Structure 1
Amino acid sequence: MRIGLVVDSACDLPSHYLQEHAISLLPIAVRIGDTTLVDRRDEAATLEFLHAHVAERGHEAQTTPFPVQEIHDLFLQRLVIDYDHVFCMTIARSRSGIYDNATQASYAILNDYRPVRAAAGYDTPFALRVIDTQNLFAAQGVAAVEAVRLRAAGEGPPKIRARLEHLALHTHGYMVPPDLYYLRNRARAKGDRSVSLLSAALGSALDIKPVLHCNRGETGPVAKIKGYEPAVRRLFEHVAARVEAGDLLTPTLCVSYGGELSALRLLPGYEALREACAARGVEWFESVMSLTGMVNVGKGAVVVGFAAEGQKFEG
């Protein structure tokens, strides 16, 4: 059976990995003022746009998920011919409309695919499953990498579906944002009151940085640490300890950064975490954060994603 994989452009994995494993992309449109860029995970274009716009006006950006009709057309024009079963893995439903759009489109796709496949010489059924990864950015990549592994091992759709849905419950995304004012202004622009002006002002005045944790679609702080680099170091140390303890459910660690990867590699704790992954046979994926991610959390944000049961962050 030919199994296809689809992610949205907020899923932080290296572009070459997506291309090598034929992972299709649902783009997200990002508009700041009169400038619009379709986020297709082009790292060079993302960095150029970042330096030109995001630092100044990124919190004003409007992000638009791939529309229902365009998802429908993408599948009927290509995916229902190229594959027999497709898994579409999206950013957390609690944070974006992409899951709902893909689900709505799936109903029409399953009604309309038969003549398209018949014209291409296929008389077998087509199936589509939309999976809510219940996480964000680098943490979305954990499910996609596992889907690639299972497909390569020859596993069928029922096992892949069960595994991805299980991982969604146990995937952890951690983030250190460098600028609480940016995060607060961005949240306010989206109508999200989770970051108050007072907490942003206090955090900036005292140089306190939160370590944010996302699991099962819910995001909140698990630690508050003085200084951006000490916060990143503590995050990397926490993840390294889980890797060394053999806690990970998949041999995968995904890291993304809101800027040049050369800057990420200079952050304290980075090398120790890489060494822990190498020693334990955990595959390391690092990428420039998507434009979608950067306009939502700010330049310089660090995100780490992995799957493990339970979580306790020692701040």
Structure 2
Amino acid sequence: MSFKIVADSCCELPEEYLQDPRFEIVPLGLEVGDYQIQDDENFNQAEFLKKVAECPKCPKSACPSPERFREAYHTEAEHVYVITLSSHLSGSYNSAVLGMNLYREKYGKKQIHIIDSESASCGETQIVKKLVELEEQGLSFEEIVKQIEEFRSNVHTYFVLDNLDTLRKNGRLTGVKALVASTLSIKPIMAGDKGSIVQRGQSVGMKKALRRMAEIVLEEAGDTKERFLMITHCNAPDRAETMKKLLMEKAEFKGCLIMDTRGVSSMYANDGGVIVTV
């Protein structure tokens, strides 16, 4: 059966998927003061980070319109899967659902399944990769939906950022009771918990924080032999490679993928942030 995978632009896709017409990215909008752009293939991370550093106002994102999602579903593919960043962090999921309703009103019934990733960044990529595997197995739409929902609930997301200002000022840390001042060089180790952000630990300095995050990943992920390691970073390739080494020295994975962040992930991770999913 033919399929199409639609993801919002918080999802980083491997290069081979970006060149494949079966995959479509629906962009969110990004705003830094008076500077407004779409998080699409023209996103320039260096320029964006410079704007963020220079602007006293906190950057913001805007989810895609339901109509933009609706048009992404308009395809000859028989199965359409949609992955959005956590509904606790963005309105993207609700917009995707409204887009499905609009599609059915305009074009009629189609097999469309929308997945709240309960994550972001490479957490969405994990779901995309799994969907491709399930489709290649020739499973029915109903069986794929069942398996992907179970898979989603077992993806672990962790991150360490140089600063949490964007997350805090945009109200994305409401579930975190207390955070130490970044001026003390204490780096909280954060994680996703059913789509919300929680704190798992903290360390002094980024090097120690990366080591502690690796320990937490290995403690909580269980048997990793059937898990794929994905790491995204915001302008921090050396830190990403350090994480890969820390984890792969202690555990066996099906594979490893390192990617740079797209626009939305760059906005929240800020310069130097590292995200890990297993």
Fold conserved (TM > 0.5)?
Answer: yes
Whether the 8 Å CA contact 2:189–2:200 is kept in 1: the answer is: yes
1:132 maps to 2:116: yes
> Which whole-Å deviations, capped at 9, do the CAs of 1:180-221 have from their partners, x for residues lacking one?
xxx235522x2456399x966x43232111100102112110
Whether the 8 Å CA contact 1:170–1:215 is kept in 2: the answer is: no
Higher CA-based Rg: 1
- Give 1:110's match in structure 2, choosing from 104, 111, 124: 104
Query: How big is the shift at 1:14?
Result: 2.7
Whether the 8 Å CA contact 2:231–2:277 is kept in 1: the answer is: yes
Tell me how far apart the structure 1 counterparts of residues 45 and 102 of structure 2 sit (CA, whole Å): 37
Where does residue 293 of structure 1 map in the other structure? 265
1:40 maps to 2:40: yes
Tell me how far apart the structure 2 counterparts of residues 46 and 58 of structure 1 sit (CA, whole Å): 20
Where does residue 130 of structure 2 map in the other structure? 146
- Give 1:194's match in structure 2, choosing from 174, 187, 206: 174
Give aligned pairs, total: 278
For residues 275 and 59 of structure 1, do their structure 2 counterparts lie closer, same or farther at Cα, with a shift above 3 Å needed?
farther
Tell me how far apart the structure 1 counterparts of residues 175 and 83 of structure 2 sit (CA, whole Å): 28
> Which whole-Å deviations, capped at 9, do the CAs of 1:280-300 have from their partners, x for residues lacking one?
352212111121112123211
Instruction: Give me the CA root mean square deviation.
Output: 2.7
Q: Runs of 5+ in structure 1 lacking a partner?
A: 115-124, 307-315
Q: Is the partner of 1:30 in helix, strand or coil?
A: strand
Which structure 2 residues correspond to residues 1-315 of structure 1 after superposition, within 5 A? 1-20=1-20, 22-40=22-40, 45-57=43-55, 60-76=58-74, 79=75, 81=76, 83-114=77-108, 126-179=110-163, 183-184=164-165, 186-188=167-169, 190-191=170-171, 194=174, 202-240=180-218, 246-247=223-224, 250-262=226-238, 264-265=240-241, 267=242, 269-275=243-249, 280-306=252-278
Q: Runs of 5+ in structure 2 lacking a partner?
A: none
Whether the 8 Å CA contact 1:254–1:304 is kept in 2: the answer is: yes
Query: How big is the shift at 1:263?
Result: 5.2
In terms of fraction of residues, the more helix-rich structure is 1
Q: Is the partner of 2:88 in helix, strand or coil?
A: coil
For normalisation by structure 2, the TM-score amounts to 0.88
Residue identity opposite 1:194 in structure 2: T
Tell me how far apart the structure 1 counterparts of residues 115 and 166 of structure 2 sit (CA, whole Å): 30
Q: Is the partner of 1:171 in helix, strand or coil?
A: coil
Tell me how far apart the structure 1 counterparts of residues 60 and 183 of structure 2 sit (CA, whole Å): 29
